[in-house]
Structure 1
Amino acid sequence: MTRPLLALSLLCAVGAAAQNPLITDQFTADPTARVFGDRVYVYPSHDVNCGTDWFCMKDYHAFSSEDLVTWTDHGEILHQDDVPWVDASQNAMWAPDAVEKDGRYYFYFPAIGDSTTDARGRRIGVATASAPGGPFTPEPMPMEGVGGIDPNVLIDDDGQAYLYWSGRGLSGARLSDDMMSLASEPVRLDASFPEGFKEGPFVFKRDGTYYFTFPHVIHETEALAYATGPSPLGPFTYRGVFMEEHASGCWTNHHSFVERDGQWLLFYHHNDLSPDFDKNRSIRADSVFFNPNGTIQKVTPTHRGVGLVDAREPIQVDRYSHTSGAGVNVSFLDPDDPHEGWSVALAQNGAWVQFDAVDVGAAPPASVRLRVRSESGGTVKVRVGRDGAYTTADIELDAGDGWRTVEAPIENVPTGVRDVWVSLRSDGMVEVDWVRFE
């Protein structure tokens, strides 16, 4: 998946055809997603390399998207060096959250306090801004009465806000009208939950039920689990796991839920761009569905993710929805620079990948282009359609070294939202970076 050039402006479009992970030009983790206006904003933590084998996070960026495909980087919204009470040597700007109240945006973040203040240890700070993309101005001191990490805020239907956090258990309390101080004593909320390390609470309300969700180490790494209750502060009844531990062994997961146009989405992270070092993570999104009784259906992580992809932009088929399995291999375009993305190799006659939900639009394209590499040469078939309406194009590739772009005519492409298949119809091997219709 080739990375597009960044626009030379304060706001940069990144990962213009990205699926999962959503952001490919930097490491991101712990995403909190919020809908502000007509855009989805995501506030992740920012993994960077500090020459150690542990997490290192110094600042925060905000990202937003209208279509869940093209993401805008609003740049750095807060840096640890700008927060008076933070011990910057700790590089501990972990999982944040952001909410809006009365036209003001409140950004909550954890850090370790500077020894020159009374804020030693893990504390939670607040910063404010007049726009969701920041930049945010931090308060000079952390919140009183809160010791921990992973802040999350729920604003209930009556306007009352609640703060949740982790640290020696999962806790919650009412927030004052100023959104910066507690209006009640903290309450321990997870005492009845199963044993095992827990962190990263995220609470949301759906159909009158409050969902208390959190990462939970059940075996060796973090699964995502939840409980439900009748009020923002419980009591909560444990319901089980809605995302299993990552099969790759990535130790952490951290998430949020958001509803957009009637569809619930789960934002979470994995170590897609750093498979050998799980302290450099990347954020993802997948759809969430609920059973009639309100329980959460299991979410299976995908490469495809969410959002309609424009057929006239590069379609990253290495982020496929379905595959034949045999003869399909995904690898980095450049192993020395994983931020360049991936390609998919079709290495067996009949091997195929399918990429769902491509927006062809109202006017059918006349040609299809592929960025490919094949030392052996071969025949690639591109198929477009859905619901019984399909068209195909066969592309004959000569043997050759290096990446090249090939083009072939395609007729009678069905318009609207369709699926795309790419398959190998010969012996040999063909690597595909992207497909685009014109």
Structure 2
Amino acid sequence: MKTNFIIFFLIIGQLGLAQNPVLKEGDSNFLYVCDPAAEVFNGKVYVYCSHDQPDAINYESMKDYVVLESSDLKTWINHSVSLDPQLDKGFEYAQSNMNAPDAAYKDGWYYWYFPSDITHVGVAKSKTPVGPWKSAIKNEIATIFDPTVFVDDDGQAYIYGNDHWVDIGDEGSHIMGAKLKDNMVELDGPWVRLSQETVNEAVHVFKRNGIYYFSARVGPVTKYWMADSPLPQYADLKGELAPNSPESPNHTSVIAFNNEWYLFYHRGDVNHGNRYKRSVCFDKMTFRADGTVEPITYTLDADVEITAPVYPPRVKKEKVETNIGASEQPDGYLRYEGESYSEKSKGSMKASAENQKKFAPLKNGDWLQFSDLTFGKSPKPFTFRIRLSAKNAGGSIVLRINSESGTVIGSIPVTSTGGLEQYKTLSTELNRIRTSQTIYITYEGPDDNLVYLDWFEWNPETK
């Protein structure tokens, strides 16, 4: 928990106009924040945001979360980084990208839901909306993409998202919902498919005048559905809620505050940003007499300039001379491409001519040998990461040492990544692996499954 925060003031020139972007590049404590999950607690607005790094070249640098607070939507308190699941104690299960979060309140506790390893859901809790936060669980509570939580008027809580990466129902990507138990950290029943239509990501739910609204990004735009229950079969698609977010796929949330409704979103064409360096904005919503929504028109303050996106040059990966096929990552990790094996099993498939430099295909029993890998001098445990795609869930990536039938040093269960074109980073912990070793990576699983190995990496301990 980072306790340092700075109050900054942003005044709009005309009453009723949104101040966009909320954080401006000229502020001394400026941050790129995105994926805004806006909530109203105790008469104030709190926005729980993902955090883009100023040198980001992809989404993998998103590691922590920021809270913004306002009592009038004009003056804001920036609480800066308030939750860092990869560094804060108690969140040892949390891994990989820290993308779109959400927050909810029930029975004296504030709950913060965040992605762990893209598709799993971690939970923090606090007695205040801004922390300090502690883990509410010992392991992830569910598998869903872009988790969002809604507490209904009767106190029943629901969790929503979409199965963009891992099918948890029918094949494809749809809006999914489930009940939560009173403890807010366990599912109370199965996932229910709520949309007939396919969606991409960024599911959000709110309620107005007894009507439940479900929104999600569909292609470049955000669309919305309406229903008379929180878990309908199916919700009624009404149309576009908001256009494509400039220079970035959109992620939205909705609140009612001081008798007005607002849509929060992000955009990448201000503050010299881009799709990896985004800024939070908000605009008023207008509802028609039948409850449908007038599509949102994005606004900027009069003195805010739309800036051309700035992408920093990618860090050049230098070859490590002692490890043929390895490349040194900016964070010190050594990465091997799957196709850089030194030997393979006789039955192993060959990648197509088009993709032979992109992945190594594996079926049940196939192994790849990687010779003379340098694992450093320390016997301390370390994280071994592997990126792959899988047609279906099932089986494991098994790591062996010295031969294809040698001692097993690690095993990583394979889950469906949503198709062979979609990749996911998995990890395990290895222990007492030192100096130069020959490693065998094997897939052991159903005969009809296929796995594409993109790369694997670790950070060698040099002391």
Q: TM-score, normalised by structure 1?
A: 0.61
The answer for the alignment partner of 1:86 in structure 2 is 94
* 2:124 equivalent to 1:127: yes
- Whether 1:95 aligns to 2:100 is yes
Partner Cα distance (2:273, 2:68) in 1: 26
Displacement after TM superposition at 1:292 (Å):
0.2
Aligned to 1:141: 138
User: How far, CA to CA, are the matches of 1:279 and 1:212 in structure 2?
Assistant: 26
State the SS of the aligned residue for 2:116.
strand
Partner of 2:146: 150
Amino acid at match of 1:199: E
Matches within 5 A, 1:288-327: 288-304=285-301, 317-319=302-304
Alignment pair present for 1:12 and 2:6: yes
CA RMSD after TM alignment? 2.3
Q: CA deviation at 1:44?
A: 1.0
Q: Is the 8 A contact 2:36 2:266 kept in 1?
A: yes
Map of 1:215 onto structure 2:
217
- Quick check: 1:280 aligned with 2:265? no
Return the alpha-carbon distance in structure 2 between the equivalents of residues 147 and 86 of structure 1: 13
2:179 is the alignment partner of 1:174: yes
Q: What amino acid does structure 1 have at the position aligned with 2:262?
A: L
- Say if 1:297 and 1:175 are closer, same or farther in 2 by CA, change over 3 A: same
Instruction: Give SS of 2:93's match.
Output: coil
CA shift in 2, pair 1:206/1:42, >3 Å: same
Q: Could you tell me which of 51, 69, 72 is aligned with 2:74?
A: 69
Residues 181, 21 of structure 1: alpha-carbon distance in 2 compared, 3 angstrom cutoff:
same
Residues 116-141 of structure 1: per-residue CA shift (max 9 Å, x gap): xxxxx620011000100112112353
Q: Secondary structure at the match of 2:303?
A: helix
Cα offset, 1:53, TM superposition: 3.6
CA distance in 1, matches of 2:306, 2:224: 34
- How far the C-alpha of 1:287 sits from its partner, in A, is 0.2
The match for 2:114 among 102, 106, 109 is 109
SS in 2 for 1:95: coil
Counterpart selection for 2:229 from 231, 253, 258: 231
Q: What CA distance in whole angstroms lies between the structure 1 residues aligned with 2:98 and 2:58? A: 16
Question: 2:241 matched to which residue of 1?
Answer: 242
Alpha-carbon distance in 2 for matches of 1:78, 1:35 = 19
CA contact (8 A) 2:93 2:140 kept: no
Aligned residue pairs, count = 284
Aligned residue identity for 1:130: K
Cα offset, 1:55, TM superposition: 4.7
Q: Is the 8 A contact 1:151 1:163 kept in 2?
A: yes
Q: 2:156: which partner in 1?
A: 160
Amino acid at match of 1:245: N
Q: Matches of 1:59 and 1:38 in 2, distance apart?
A: 26
1:124-183 Cα distance to aligned partner (Å, 9 max, x none): 011000100112112353333x21221111111111000002223321100000000001
1: CA distance, partners of 2:201 / 2:267: 16
The residue that corresponds to 1:23 in the other structure is 23
Shift of 1:11: 3.3
- Contact residue 16 and residue 69 of structure 1 kept, 8 A: yes
Report whether the alignment pairs 1:267 with 2:264.
yes
Summarize the Cα distance change of 1:11–1:52 in structure 2 as closer, same or farther, 3 Å threshold: closer
Kindly provide the amino acid, as one letter, of the partner of residue 124 in structure 2.
A
Partner AA of 1:81 in structure 2? L
Kept in 2, the 8 Å contact 1:11–1:75? The answer is: yes
Given that 1:152 and 1:164 are in contact with CA atoms closer than 8 Å, whether structure 2 keeps it comes out as yes
Classify the secondary structure of the residue corresponding to 1:200. Answer: strand
1:43-91 Cα offsets, whole Å, 9 max, x none, are 011111465344521111111001111110123221022221123xx3x
Report the counterpart of residue 206 of structure 2 in structure 1.
Answer: 204
Q: Distance in 1 between matches of 2:70 and 2:193?
A: 36
By how many angstroms is 1:273 displaced? 3.3
Which residue is 1:188 aligned to? Answer: 193
Which has the bigger relative contact order, CA under 8 A and spacing at least 6? Answer: 1
TM-score by length of 2: 0.58
Unaligned runs of 5+ in 1: 1-8, 113-120, 305-316, 320-329, 337-438
Q: Taking structure 1 as reference, are residues 142 and 255 closer, same or farther at Cα in structure 2, changes over 3 Å only?
A: farther
The equivalent residue for 1:256 is 253
**Structure 1 pair 100/51, CA: closer, same or farther in 2 (3 Å)?**
closer
